Each structure stands twice: as C-alpha cells, then as structure tokens.
Amino acid sequence: MKKGLFILIALSAVLLIAGQAAAGISGTSHDLRSFGLVNGTGEICIPCHTPHNARGLNPNLPLWNRDQSNQQVFPGIGWASDVCLSCHDGTIAVDKFGEFPGTTNMTQINGGRYVVDNIDGTHPIGSSAIYANSSSPMEPGITDSSYPVKTFDGQVECSSCHNVHDNSYGGFLAMSNQGSALCLTCHAL
C-alpha cells in the first residue's frame, strides 16, 4: 500500500511539473506547434523531450530527444548550452527529433533571427564562472536549484541566464532584468 501511494505521489509530481513547463511554453516561440514543426504529433514537449529515456542521447539530459550538433560552433561549451544550440546554431533542423528527419533549419524561421552563430560582443558561454560581485549568492561551481541564475559544472552557459520553459520576463530570461537585476546577480558595478 505504501509503495503504491509513493508511486502515485511521485507520478503526480512529475505530471504537475511537466504541465507547468508546457504551460510556460504554450504560445511562445518555443512552442513549435505554432510553426507547424511537430511532424504531425501535435505535442508540445516531444520536440525536445522523449518519454521514459527512450533515446538516451545525452547522459546529462536523460529525457533529451534531439541530436547534438557535431559541428563545434563554440568549442568548450557545456551541455547546458548544447541543448539550446541543438536548434539555435542553425546546423540541425528544428523539426529533427525522435525518428523524424527534419527539414526546417532555424535559419528558415523568422529570417534566421534566432540563430546564434557569433557570440562576439555577447556574454561568453562555456567560460569559467568568475564573479565580481562578492555578495552574489552564487559562487563559482555551485548550483542552487532554488535560485534563478545558475552555473553548470562551474561554467556560465546559456541556461545560466535563460529558462527555456518560462518566458515571463521576455527573452526566456530566468529572472527580471529590470534595472540590470539579472546582470547584477553576478556582476558588481
């Protein structure tokens, strides 16, 4: 009886979290249904995630349903940027997931506006996390899952400042950047 109750509670928690993530994506540019890029599945999550670790392409992301680029567009980046670049580097079709071969690259969507092909002049990704703000709650190499800004394996990655499942702050930012709040989390003036 206890084991059954535990499984029911765990399953309910997973479904609640998945439902919240899907709700955060619905109607945003990460909702590939609006571009007709779900290959007839009609599902919001499957372009990125596969149920039950069916593919297991990335050990850091056991539910990941996309190939990673074999072109190292940005050498030295970690898995928390690789996931973003599996679409945003423009080398893998956005609708290539699971068994679907894909035909549409990010360069064909909105004039390639969301392709990251050059990070000069932007925040470095795949770099060691060095903080100038001594009062920062984030120390290099520590990930506090309750805090919106994170490091991954001691590095700044795309997912350090962006939350793919929540566009509440625009640009899929992990927190508001009003008054440079996101930047000042790590950097002192």
pLDDT digits 0-9 by tens, 77-122 = 888 888 888 888 888 888 888 888 888 888 888 788 888 877 666 7
pLDDT digits 0-9 by tens, 36-46 = 888 888 889 98
Burial (CB < 10 A; 0-12, 13-18, 19+), residue 158, is buried
pLDDT of residue 183: 85
**Where do the domains of the chain lie?**
27-121, 123-189
Half-sphere exposure of 110 (CA within 13 A, CB side): 12
Q: Report the percentage of the chain scoring pLDDT > 70.
A: 67
Measured CA to CA, the distance from residue 23 to residue 30 in angstroms comes to: 11
Main-chain phi, psi angles of 162, to 5 degrees: -115, 145
DSSP 128: E
Does pLDDT of 18 surpass 80?
A: no
pLDDT of residue 129: 64
**What tokens does 143 get?**
């990930």
Look at 6-10, 29-33, 82-86, 126-130 and tell me which has the smallest mean pLDDT.
Answer: 6-10
Q: Report the percentage of the chain scoring pLDDT > 90.
A: 12
pLDDT digits 0-9 by tens, 152-178 = 877 888 888 999 999 999 999 999 999
Q: How confident is the model at residue 150 (pLDDT cuts 50, 70, 90)?
A: confident
Short-list 124, 159, 127, 154, CA closest to 142: 154
